[in-house]
Amino acid sequence: MENVKISFDTLSPEAQAAVLRSQRDEETGAKVYAHMAKREKDEKNRAILSRMSTDEKLHAAYWQDISGREVRPDRLKLFRLKLLTRVLGYTFVLKRIIRDETDAIGEYEQLKAAIPDSARVQEDEMRHEKQLVEMLDEERLQYVGAMVLGLNDALVELTGTIAGLSFALQNTRLVALSGIITGISATLSMAASNYLAERADGNPNAIKSSVYTGVAYLITVALLVLPYLLLPNNLWAVALGLMIAVVVLVILGFNYYISVAKTLPFRRRFVEMVSISMGVMVIAFLIGLLAKALLGVEV
Average pLDDT per consecutive 10 residues, the chain (299 residues; last block may be shorter): 63 82 89 88 85 88 88 90 82 79 63 72 70 66 72 80 83 91 89 85 82 87 93 91 90 83 81 84 77 69
- Do 128 and 187 belong to one domain? no
The model's pTM is: 0.67
Domain holding 46: CATH number? Answer: 1.20.1260
Q: Is residue 2 part of a domain?
A: no
Q: Which of 114, 138, 162 lies at the terminal end of a domain, its last residue?
A: 138
Range of the domain at 62: 8-138
- Do 285 and 183 belong to one domain? yes
Cα Dmax for the chain: 86
Per-position b or e across 37-64, b if 16+ CB within 10 A of its CB = beebeeeebeebbbebbebbbebbebbb
- Do 161 and 272 belong to one domain? yes
Half-sphere exposure of residue 168: CA atoms within 13 angstroms, side-chain side: 22
pLDDT value for 135: 63
- Do 131 and 148 belong to one domain? no
pLDDT value for 139: 65
CA 18, CA 20: separation in Å to the nearest integer?
Answer: 5
| DSSP code of residue 2 | -
pLDDT value for 105: 60
The number of helices, as runs of H, and strands, as runs of E, in the chain is: 12, 0
- Do 133 and 12 belong to one domain? yes
pLDDT value for 287: 80
CA 107, CA 84: separation in Å to the nearest integer?
Answer: 25
Nearest to 111 by CA among 102, 101, 99, 122: 122
Q: Count how many domains the chain has.
A: 2
Could you count the other beta carbons within 10 Å of the beta carbon of residue 81? 23
- Do 25 and 70 belong to one domain? yes
- Do 118 and 42 belong to one domain? yes
Exposed (0-12), middle (13-18) or buried (19+): which is 226, by Cβ within 10 Å?
middle
pLDDT value for 124: 67
pLDDT value for 230: 92
Q: Which of 138, 168, 202 lies at the terminal end of a domain, its last residue?
A: 138
Q: Which of 138, 166, 189 lies at the terminal end of a domain, its last residue?
A: 138
